[in-house]
Amino acid sequence: MTVPESRAGRRLFFALPVGDAVRERLTDLTTRLTKAARFTPAEIGWVAPENWHLTLHFLGTVAEQEAGLLMAGLSEAVAEVGAFTLDVHGIGCFPHDRAPRVFWAGVRRPPEALARLHRRVGELVCRSGLTLQHDNFHAHVTLARFKSLKGTAAFLKLAADWRQKDLGLMPVDRVLLMQSELRPEGAHYSAIAEGRLAS
């Protein structure tokens, strides 16, 4: 996979792709809530389904040299972690319901394998000369972002039925290094490297 180079570097993050079963359930959820939101004054920017993912580490803008190290080291970094399954379940908000900014689908009882994978990728980031931006990892799939607080209480009341709903099982067998490009029509994500987990 070839991606055009930029003198300023690339906006990168490590992610787990969302599988078909979870994608189907999330499509149902977001379709229903998009319609319901029209009856509230909430200002919501929905994430396009093709951009759904679970972020392991967000890196921000990375210079070409460090990006090359991340691409070269990804397969080895994750090869000893065995494939596993995530139980995608329920919805929530960051930082909290009283002042929500991000609307997400969560993961119920994340397995130790996810924590190990998060650590292994974090170690690769540090070995590549970069600094980890966050240390409070919370597994989730971002579904939308609130543009203001207007109408959020009304929207969350409509979304309450989804707080404890099963949203499908998500097999994890690979990690993607993703590049984010900001375009007039919105963010565009593309995979520039892939690391396979042990089968």
What pLDDT score was predicted for residue 138?
A: 95
Identify whether 109 is part of a domain: yes
What pLDDT score was predicted for residue 109?
A: 96
What pLDDT score was predicted for residue 3?
A: 43
Identify whether 3 is part of a domain: no
pTM of the model: 0.92
Structural domain count, the chain = 1
Identify whether 6 is part of a domain: no
What pLDDT score was predicted for residue 134?
A: 74
CATH number at residue 25: 3.90.1140.10
State pLDDT tens for residues 121-176: 999 999 999 999 877 899 999 999 999 999 999 999 999 999 999 999 999 999 99
For 184: left if phi > 0, alpha if psi spans -120 to 50, otherwise beta; the answer is alpha
Identify whether 2 is part of a domain: no
What pLDDT score was predicted for residue 186?
A: 77
Identify whether 4 is part of a domain: no
Identify whether 42 is part of a domain: yes
Domain that holds residue 29: 11-196
Identify whether 135 is part of a domain: yes
What pLDDT score was predicted for residue 128?
A: 96
Identify whether 40 is part of a domain: yes
- Residue ranges for the chain with pLDDT beneath 50: 1-6
